[in-house]
Amino acid sequence: MAIRIHKPTTNGRRNSSVNMHVEVTKKTPEKSLLRPLNKKGGRNNQGKITVRGRGGGHKRRYRVIDFKRRKDDMAAKVIGVEYDPNRSCHIALLEYADGERRYILHPVGLEVGDEVLSSNEAVEPNNGCCMPLDFIPTGLQVHAIEFEPGKGASMCRAAGSYAQLTNKEGRWATLVLPSGEIRQVSLRCRATVGQVGNTDHQLVKLGKAGRNRWLGRRPKVRGMAMSHHEHPLGGGEGRSKGGRTPASASGVKSKGGRTRRRGKASDARILRRRKSKRYGQLKL
């Protein structure tokens, strides 16, 4: 069982569960792929808080992930699956034929001893193999998708996520993203075959506030509980919602409102926008 539910011995354990990380086979990271990770606490270079609710957390070191997968036509063997504290999914350590080692996101079904390949041409579409969308058969699940050719993977990188490759027309591939958005991406963009691993990540219940602090998340005060000069929802005689649209402290709409800037060139490639969980499907 990948998720272990704690016995209710204390209040903090009553509703908590923990991921057993059964896919992990290697406990210590590759030293050559480690980098220091400095904490910002939600502050910019002037020391001002720009992101509220950040700070603290356990000390971590960054694992360098190969999101571009440009070591083409050289077989790589999986020598270990590791836990990564910087992301929700696990990472797989590859060793190429020339001895170089790199990290990639661990897809479902990829085990130690398997071989993966990245190429700019068509290869066998096995889990973990990377190639341009032009050579991936329609109907397969893909992840770690490039938004622009050569830029590196930027879509579908979280645990359990994948996109469905549904159609190819002209120089565009049509993808159904996890959010429900249907988007076109250039056929020259690379993607990795399969679904991102650690699918049980979303089933974990923290159970107590302390586990949130370990992750670097500080307590968040409700806007309605603040003063009128601190938050758009604050102030009033007694408890009052004010009758306005829910927003952040800076006035940005926080529940279903559009925040995307107009005039982006990539807007033309969105065939259907993602669905809003509260207000139904957003109109184009």
Count the residues in the chain: 284
Q: Does residue 131 contact residue 190 with C-beta atoms inside 8 Å?
A: yes
Average pLDDT, the chain: 92
Residues 121, 15: Cα–Cα separation, whole Å: 49
Residues 19, 205: Cα–Cα separation, whole Å: 9
Binned at pLDDT 50, 70 and 90, residue 1 comes out as low
Q: Sheet holding 141-143: strands in order across?
A: 130-132, 190-193, 141-143, 163-169, 172-176, 182-186, 270-272
pLDDT value at residue 208: 94
Residues 219, 207: Cα–Cα separation, whole Å: 15
Give, in degrees to the nearest 5, the angle at Cα 246 between 240 and 251: 110
Extract the tokens encoding 265. Answer: 């060139």
- What is the 8-class DSSP label of residue 261? P
Check pLDDT > 80 for residue 132: yes
pLDDT value at residue 254: 85
Task: Give the pLDDT confidence of 218-260 residue by residue, as tens digits.
Answer: 999 999 999 999 999 999 888 887 788 889 998 888 887 777 7
Backbone angles phi, psi at 80, to 5 degrees: 180, 150
Please provide the CATH number assigned to the domain covering 22-38+59-197: 2.30.30.30
Residues 151, 102: Cα–Cα separation, whole Å: 18
Q: What is the 3-state secondary structure (H, E, C) of 60-71?
A: CEEECECCCCCC
Longest CA–CA separation in the chain, Å:
71
pLDDT value at residue 54: 95
Contacts of 263 (CB under 8 A, 6+ apart): none
Task: Give the pLDDT confidence of 72-88 residue by residue, as tens digits.
Answer: 999 999 999 999 999 99
pLDDT value at residue 274: 82
Query: What percent of the chain has a predicted confidence (pLDDT) above 90?
Result: 83
Check pLDDT > 70 for residue 119: yes
pLDDT value at residue 64: 98
Span 100-119, average pLDDT: 97
pLDDT value at residue 275: 65
Task: Give the pLDDT confidence of 7-50 residue by residue, as tens digits.
Answer: 999 999 998 999 999 999 999 999 999 999 999 999 999 999 99
Residue given tokens 């002037």 in the structure block: 46
Q: How far, in Å, are 101, 145, 208, 229 from residue 270 at the CA level?
A: 37, 15, 40, 39
pLDDT value at residue 156: 97
Span 119-125, average pLDDT: 94
pLDDT value at residue 114: 97
Residues 150, 128: Cα–Cα separation, whole Å: 18
- From the list 194, 26, 4, 29, the residue with the least C-alpha distance to 106 is 194
Q: Does residue 153 contact residue 145 with C-beta atoms inside 8 Å?
A: yes
Residues 98, 250: Cα–Cα separation, whole Å: 52
Q: So where are the chain's domains?
A: 22-38+59-197
pLDDT value at residue 255: 84
Task: Give the pLDDT confidence of 171-182 residue by residue, as tens digits.
Answer: 999 999 999 999
pLDDT value at residue 244: 85
In this structure, which amino acid lies at residue 271? L
Check pLDDT > 70 for residue 277: no
